[in-house]
Amino acid sequence: MFDPTSLIPTEELKAFRDRIHQVAKEKISPQAALVDEEEFFNREVESLLWDLGLLTLTFPEEYGGIGKNKTAALCIAVEEIAKYCASSALLLIIQAVGSFPIIHGGSAELRRTYLPQMSKGRKLVAYLVTEPSAGSDVSGIRTTAKRVGDHYLLNGSKCFATSGGVAGIYSVLAKTSEEKEKSSFFLVERGVQGLSVGRTEHKLGQRGSNTTEVFLDSVQISAENLLGIEGEGFLIAMKDFDMSRPAIAAQALGIAEGALETLLQSAREKQNLQQPVKELPILQAIIADSATLIEASRGLVYRAAILNDEGKNNTKLASMAKCFAADAAMKITAEVIDALHILDGYGSLKISDAERMFRDAKLTQIFEGTNQIQRLVISRQVLKEWI
């Protein structure tokens, strides 16, 4: 139907895509419905992702990274896995997002200490930015990091932390000054005194991802654990978005492709009806619109990813990709549900993968900046180019 390798920049990455596709279809897909239904973090899939090197994909090469074309590789892996299980794809994304401040902000000594723990030691990382009173407006965070001699003292509450309850390491954003925008990232280990994991969220979709609160109560960490220059955490978060937004877009793209495939499979099974599916105009329209949106999403995802890998500014494209692909996934999964209803009746929806994909798609409009925020970013960039 589609050429999933179109826009993939190298032959190596095309072979990489084929390998991930096969594993996702054979090993991850059969577990996706159960993981969603019982809402558990799948250690078996986590282990498989480590074995495949997917949880260190964006690390420096000596610690298991792929080297060149990191963002494109991340998007390829995420897309292929999300076709079958969006929760498993999210684990890859958050590992890349959470490790970004450590890889790009950590001192050489800190990276030498922690990157082997994260790669060989197979430690997951969580990214602690959002707070009950600060989601879209990151500058509103209230968690503080106070310098005391050669230590920092961290206090605050974080929420919606993906992998919060299963991570061994946390990248934590905290205020290091009274000034609104002056915040900094810190590396905090799981076992440190004063850090505790709170409630696990029950979510609408991507229910196999672990999402929790994390509390920091007078957590004392070495000043060496500061990531980047004090006060410049916001800049690290923005650079991280340039990688993570194409990745979320790839997740939405994968979900949309998975949903359309579900519909096409069902249509094939109904070939012998009195009026063949291919002659039902309403289904033709759904299939046409979905396939078109998928191709358009693919174009944006890989343009945004390749620009980032080339070291060029991709902020506008990354937001366009995230916003467009997430809205497209929402529309496609909703229309696939309509189409399956026409083909099979309501009862079949409860057991269809499309129902899970519909719920999973919704979250892609929310995290890594809601789609309303993406529109603000895009319009700001467009106006900057013109005025």
The catalytic residues are: 368
Closest CA to 264 of 282, 280, 283: 283
Per DSSP, the three-state class of 122 is: coil
161 binds ligand FAD (CB under 6 A): yes
Distance of CA 227 to the CA centre of its chain: 22
Angle, in degrees to the nearest 10, between helices 43-51 and 29-38:
140
87 binds ligand FAD (CB under 6 A): no
211 binds ligand FAD (CB under 6 A): yes
372 binds ligand FAD (CB under 6 A): yes
Binding ligand FAD (rule: CB under 6 A), the pick from 122, 151, 182, 203 is 203
One symbol per residue from 284 to 323: x for binding ligand FAD (CB under 6 A), - otherwise; what is it? ----------------------------------------
212 binds ligand FAD (CB under 6 A): no
264 binds ligand FAD (CB under 6 A): no
End-to-end Cα, the chain, rounded Å: 42
Binding ligand FAD (rule: CB under 6 A), the pick from 63, 84, 114, 367 is 367
170 binds ligand FAD (CB under 6 A): no
Contacts of 276 (CB under 8 A, 6+ apart): none
Q: Is 279 exposed, middle or buried (0-12, 13-18, 19+ CB in 10 A)?
A: exposed
157 binds ligand FAD (CB under 6 A): no
Contacts of 213 (CB under 8 A, 6+ apart): 157, 158, 159, 161, 164, 197, 198, 199
Q: Is 50 exposed, middle or buried (0-12, 13-18, 19+ CB in 10 A)?
A: middle
Binding ligand FAD (rule: CB under 6 A), the pick from 135, 156, 165, 258 is 135
Closest residue to ligand FAD, Cβ-based?
Answer: 135
CB of 143 to ligand FAD, least distance (A): 11
List of residues contacting ligand FAD (CB under 6 A): 94, 127-130, 135-136, 160-162, 203, 206, 211, 363, 366-367, 369-370, 372-373, 376
